[in-house]
Structure 1
Amino acid sequence: MNIRKTVFGKTSNGETASLYTLTNKSGMTVTFSDYGATIVNVFVPDAKGKLEDVVLGYDNLEQYTGNAPGFGSFIGRHANRIGNASFTINGKTYELEKNDGNNNLHSGSKSYNKFLYETEYYEEDGSLTIEFSRLSPDMEQGFPGNLDVTVAYTLTEENELVIEYLAVPDQDTVINFTNHTYFNLSGHKSGSILNHKVWINANQFTPTDDSLIPTGEFVDVEGTPMDFRTVKTIGQDINADYKPLKQGGGYDHNYVLNRESEDVELVAELIDEASGRKMEVYTDKPGMQFYTANFLDGEKGKEGTTYNARDGVCFETQFYPNACNIAEFPSSIIKAEEEYDFVTVYKFTTI
């Protein structure tokens, strides 16, 4: 196991951003930046041992300061959408930026992927961990309370990328962190992911209105194109004449994960038969946004690649969208001094 630090560039206000590359003994390599606590590269072997970068992204810091698609991004204070860009805690209503129609998406135009983080890294029990931390001050993005934020990434010898989200607020507030990495197991520049196969352990999803805000209902996936309880290709049903798919332009939906405990459990799988790569998703979060990159349109990425719709797929573990405003959902309101501590694991193997 080893870790290497290099300069990534300077931000517009002159701060130096760095890259940190972690490599395990089997050759898996993950590169992060302290700008945005961002995942920049993930090189994993295929069935024949060939390494390929399987995440979409950019080559330079300047592009990451824009990064409208959220490539590799740590998202907070609240991932996904909040209806009417507002919520109420203890009788007080908080107004957020309306950056998605009348709604708030990923906390506004400056999510947690647009900040520079303090960095620590260490090796423990044969694994390498890098921690990115900062203080999110009271009313940043419109959210109440100072929030000590840490996202820890660990690379294990079992080709697992473990993400642990830690935060403690000093006031009651809303917290819903996620990671917005776009995966393509054939390699980031290989085009469509419609032939990738997916399994999701969820009997239900949360339908939305036309602005993709959940209605508060729970709908069974059985008998619908949303059903991934049996492995199928992403492309099999993505263009079906089904209202939720038309609303999202493809899959862009929160799945209600079938979880049997409070522990980290296997909730999804992504399989690419062309390369023989497989990715398992584990989490202790209640929901997962399954997103097929429907809004990518000519985005210039790594190595001169142009990314288009459905060239990547996201598995964003989370509280349900707009959970702070829907009583029927597990609440994303975290009490003062209560620890927010959740884990997601992306484990890479071959078939």
Structure 2
Amino acid sequence: MNGTLTLDGFCHRLAADPLRYRKLHPVAMAGEFVDHFGVPPFPRMEGIAGLLDRSGIGTVVLSHETGGLRGYHVGTRDGGYLIHVDASEGRVGQEHTALHEAYEVMRERLHDLHPRIGLAAGISLCRQADRFAAATLMQPYWFAIFAEASGLDVVALQASYGRSYASLTIRLAEVMRHQPLLAVLYERGPQAERPPGMPGQVSEGLRATVVARTPGFRLRMQRRPLSALRGLLPRRGAPPPPGSVAERVALTGRPAAVDRVSGYDLWRADDLAVLARPVIWGGQVAKVSVVAVPYRDRSVLLPQFANAAFERTFHAHQVL
């Protein structure tokens, strides 16, 4: 094998790059990883395991005894690594876990070879590894094609990629940077205490777990104090705002659209077009996916109307 197509070769490539600190961001590092090792556009478990083994990153072992973890890695006496992956997970989960652990191995080895390059720890490293795995499995060229063809539809993207709704929502904002957009995912978790004055239907466990936007998505009213924005824009950890399209979808279980949301500025330059779709599990709404774009860009959402029958509202005021 070419000596550079190894774990150490990849680490030396990163360390020698004048832009290494930019490229050590997990999403950028995924791009370097794909380019260096020739990762195919749609990696599958067999190919991932083979690549990790050949490059010396680690030997993937499917195990039924992972101690409740999805995966972990350990060093071996000969200086290599074993990457244990929970055998009870589905293929999609195993692929993500193998790449998650591979990222941690690469960062640890990079730190060993070049101690000046820092190494995150704990939950920070874990989150970085998740973003690396998602970016490797959902590579930007093809992801952008699917996203545009679907009308920025996270539900349709999930059907194509099989990845988690959360990782798809984050990836949508990472890849579609040229398109101003706001993507929000509400998910049902443990029953939370109802906020004072909040209607019961709204607080039935749905909370915003992902709120992601592209750099171009910015409202003029964001220059106002933060208190002026609360209740108008989605916030991570909060339920769907009362009267919002997300609340309507949560209550009806049907896709909904607002052709024009206005009231953010006097000139209506910041008006938005908003679509929301439910994910139904076990007969109830388990998730709600929301995407908003500037009203002038509303045509990018049109393909979604071919994917589902939306209840349409032609105008709303300041509530997504």
TM-score by length of 2: 0.26
TM-score by length of 1: 0.24
Higher relative contact order (CA 8 A, sep 6+): 1
Higher strand share: 1
